[in-house]
Amino acid sequence: MKIIIISDTHGAYAKLSKVMQLHQDADRFIHLGDGERDVNTLFLTYPQMRERFYYINGNCDYGLLYEGTPFLTLDLPYGHRIFAAHGHHFQVKFGTARILYEGKQKQADIILYGHTHVSDCQYENGIYIINPGSLGLPRDGKKPSYALLDISEKGILPNIVFL
């Protein structure tokens, strides 16, 4: 299973569209928030994407045409589970302890968050903690980024991809 994780597009629709075109074969797309206008445009342009697309509401999202959710728990093949949030409810700018705790409560082995605009991929006690960075406004001195997550019988393979 191939999952594309995007966050914090903040008006960078062209970059979001490029990622979608590069990964048309993906099984799921998860946008971790702060890109409501981009997602609205995406669904008007590519309405068929809604079936494979999940949207988490960010702290800058108001008036979505497509209703998102503040948190997402998603069961995956091979016994894996994702817990995803934008991150502002868990104060991720000060560390990942709170979102890690919540993910453990949800029995997730993959935790996704955005909000910081800084890409990161950690593995801690059997749990992947992944921030894809920002397609619109990266704050880590790197290029715009997103994450690609491959899940198979062999395990989980996360990768941060820079545009």
**Packing angle between helix 36-45 and helix 13-22, nearest 10 degrees?**
50
Each residue of 98-152: pLDDT tens digit? 999 999 999 999 999 999 999 999 999 999 999 999 999 999 999 999 999 999 9
User: What Rg value do the Cα atoms of the chain yield, rounded?
Assistant: 14
**Longest CA–CA separation in the chain, Å:** 41
Is the pLDDT at 155 greater than 90? The verdict is yes
Each residue of 34-87: pLDDT tens digit? 998 999 899 998 888 889 999 999 888 876 666 667 899 999 999 999 999 999
Kindly indicate whether the domain formed by 2-162 is annotated with CATH number 3.40.50.720. no
- pLDDT, position 70: 85
pTM surpassing 0.75? yes
